[in-house]
Amino acid sequence: MAKLTGRIAFRAITPRPLCRFSRGVGMSASFATPLRRYQSSLPIASFPLKRSLLGPSRNYQIPIRLFSTTRRIDSSPKFRYGISASYCAKENRYDPTKNLTPFNSYNPIPVPLKPANRRPASGQDAFFVAPISNTSDIALGVADGVGGWIDSGVDPSDFSHGLCEYMAHTASVSNTIDEAPISARRLLQKGYDLICASGKVRAGGSTAVVGIFNSGGNMEVANLGDSGYIQLRSGAVHSASEFQTHAFNTPYQLSLVPDAVIRQAAKFGGQQLMDLPRDAEVMSKELKHGDVVVFASDGVWDNLSGGDVLRIVSNRMQYNGVWVNGAGGKGTGVGEKLRETLEESDDGSASLSLQSSLAVDITGEAKAASLSLRRDGPFAREVQRRYPDEKWSGGKSDDICVVVVVVAEEGK
Number of H helices, E strands in the chain: 8, 18
pLDDT at 345: 61
Quickly list DSSP for 319-358.
HTTSEEEPGGG--EEE-TTHHHHHSPPSSS--PPPHHHHH
Give the pLDDT confidence score for residue 329 in this predicted structure: 64
What pLDDT is stored for residue 105 in this prediction?
A: 75
The helix/strand/coil state of 376 is: coil
Q: DSSP letter at 180?
A: E
Which residues, listed in sequence order, are joined to residue 209 by a DSSP beta bridge? 142, 223
Q: pLDDT value at position 208? A: 99
Centroid of chain to Cα 282: 15
Residue 18, judged by CB atoms within 10 A of its CB (0-12, 13-18, 19+), counts as: middle
147 Cβ contact partners less than 8 Å away, ≥ 6 residues apart? 21, 22, 23, 25, 124, 156
pLDDT, tens digit, 9 for 90 and up, residues 116-143: 889 999 999 999 999 999 999 999 999 9
Q: Between these two residues, 58 and 372, which has the higher pLDDT value? A: 372
Partners of 180 in beta bridges:
177
- Residue 62 or 201, more confident: 201
Whether residue 65 is predicted with pLDDT greater than 50 in this model: the reply is no
pLDDT at 26: 47
The full length of the chain comes to: 412
pLDDT band, residue 272 (cuts 50/70/90): low
Continuous segment of H or E residues that includes residue 221:
strand 218-224
> What is the amino acid identity at position 360?
V
Kindly report the CATH number that applies to the domain delimited by 79-409: 3.60.40.10
Neighbouring-strand partners of residue 46:
236
pLDDT tens readout for residues 230-270: 999 999 999 999 999 999 999 999 999 988 888 887 888 76
Q: Residue 406: what pLDDT?
A: 98
Reply yes or no on whether the pLDDT at 82 is more than 60.
yes
pLDDT of residue 114: 84
Q: Quick one: average pLDDT of 82-108?
A: 93
Tell me the pLDDT tens digit for each residue of 187-196.
999 999 999 9
Q: Which of 43-57, 264-278, 329-343, 365-379 is least confident?
A: 43-57
Give how far the C-alpha of residue 340 lies from the chain's centroid of Cα atoms, to the nearest Å: 26
